[in-house]
Amino acid sequence: MREKIHPPYYLEAKVICVCGNSWVTGATKEVIRTDVCSKCHPFYTGQQRLASRGGQVERFTQRVERSRELRDEAEKRAIAQAERERERLLVEIVDQEESVEPIEGIIESEDDQE
Q: Which fold has domain 1-48?
A: Rhinovirus 14, subunit 4 (4.10.80)
Residue 23 has a pLDDT of 93
**DSSP 8-state secondary structure symbol assigned to residue 100:** S
Q: What are 23-47's pLDDT values in tens digits?
A: 999 999 999 999 888 888 877 676 6
What's the pTM value of the predicted model, to 2 decimals? 0.38
Residue-by-residue DSSP string for the chain: --TT-SPP-EEEEEEEETTS-EEEEEESSSEEEES--TTT-HHHHT----HHHHHHHHHHHHHHHHHHHHHHHHHHHHHHHHHHHHHHHHHHHHHHHHHSPPHHHHHHHHHHH-
Domain ranges of the chain: 1-48, 49-99
Q: What are 61-106's pLDDT values in tens digits?
A: 899 999 999 999 999 999 999 998 888 887 777 666 555 555 565 5
